[in-house]
Amino acid sequence: METLDVRGLSCPIPVLKTKKLMDAGVTEILVLGSSAVSRENVQRLAHSQGYQATVKASSETGWEMELKKR
């Protein structure tokens, strides 16, 4: 599983970095982020690209989302 740390970055950077890994053929990605907007946008991207998105942990300081290609 590839880990992508986008904490502290604002959109669209987290989405672009996630898309880059998807385009490279990575089928499992753990995304670490801090923005609620980024979380929603990464989740939306994942669904549109055929990935299952599961938020593993979420708090005021950040979130972890596991993406797996269906």
Residues assigned a catalytic role: 11
Q: Does residue 45 contact residue 18 with C-beta atoms inside 8 Å?
A: yes
Give the residue carrying structure tokens 């269906």: 70
Round the CA-based radius of gyration of the chain to a whole number and report it: 11
